Amino acid sequence: MSLRIAINGYGRIGRSILRLLLERDDTDQLELIAINEPASAEAIALLTRYDSQHGRLPARLQVEENWLSINGSRIRLYPGLAPEELPWARDKIDLVLDCSGQPGSREAATRHLQAGAGKVLYSQPASSDVDITLIPGFNHADLREDHRIISAGSCTTNCLIPVLDCLQSAFGIERGAVTTIHSAMNDQPVSDTLKGDELRLNRGALNAIQPVDTALARGVERLMPTLGPNLECLHLRVPTTAVSAMDISLQAAGPVSAASVADCLYEAARHCYAGILDVCEDPVSSVDFAHDPHSVVVDLTQLRVADNRLIKLLCWFDNEWGFANRMIDIARMLSGSPPATTTHQNRAHLH
């Protein structure tokens, strides 16, 4: 069935979603009806047409006071209204993609539902009382028709969970430690400032590596409750504009080898996590994974196993583009379409 969509909050993920609706060849059932964003129509149009990371939009774009037209399709613009003020019932909105970055609570989502939306999908980890936190490839089979408030997790959970799931199923994992090496984000200033409450995030992003608090371990525990308590996570911000990495150390329950781990990940990339997890054997750097649709690409050149038990991995992920692809995947599931793989993506970056 066709799904009428609204985007609430038109930041990095919201704009990536719009581009994906044009770029992917499997989104015919998804119709973007409205965008709720407090920025001016001119600013929305400019940052839709031009993107510092993803380049120029290959489409015809026109703007009016309250409308954005792309290739002749008109999208209504609302000026950052509160959920209860939005005319979702009149617009017959089936799904709100909440990309606002505001805390993902059940209460906030309910306000969208009361305004007439059919379902809400958060582009972030949400409170534990949402109907489901959905990680495509891991628990998409658990999605039910009566799930109305859904979280897509985070770019980091979507990167880590497929790897943990594969290795846990194949070898068992006793404990682990993960360090995310994440590109700078728009909650960081260009130069030092006194404005924010998080002291480390007040420092300039361009010339420093900054530790940041992360809830990744709690997110893993929600999805994999037996493993989560035995996992510790750190998070570093680095001065790059896109593509992040994950340094993963895991202690296997029994003997493993680098070859057996690589075989496990190869198998997952071809079957159960096709289109979500990929592997790469080339001597690459982070920039080579810009615009990559996968949630995680395991760099097999960096795979190590110590003492037949300690597995060391380096994984790449485009923290914007890969995650926005998973948002589209979930929207497609909600429209009744089967889970997507890379075969459905007409400009997928494959290795």
Query: How many residues are given for the chain?
Result: 351
Rounded-to-integer distance, Cα 340 and Cα 19, Å: 17
Tokens, residue 57: 């939009």
Q: Has 272 been annotated as catalytic?
A: no
Distance between start and end Cα atoms, the chain? 33
Cα separations in angstroms, 227 against 164, 221, 297: 9, 7, 22
Q: What are phi and psi of 12, to 5 degrees?
A: -60, -45
What distance in Å separates the CA atoms of residue 344 and residue 267, rounded to the nearest whole number? 20
- Rounded to 5 degrees, φ, ψ at 108 are -65, -40
Going by the DSSP 8-state scheme, the letter that residue 285 receives in this structure is: -
Tokens 């044009």 found at: 22
- Pick the catalytic residue from 155, 159, 280, 315: 155
Q: Which residue has the tokens 């408030």?
A: 149
Q: Report, as residue numbers or ranges, the catalytic residues.
A: 155
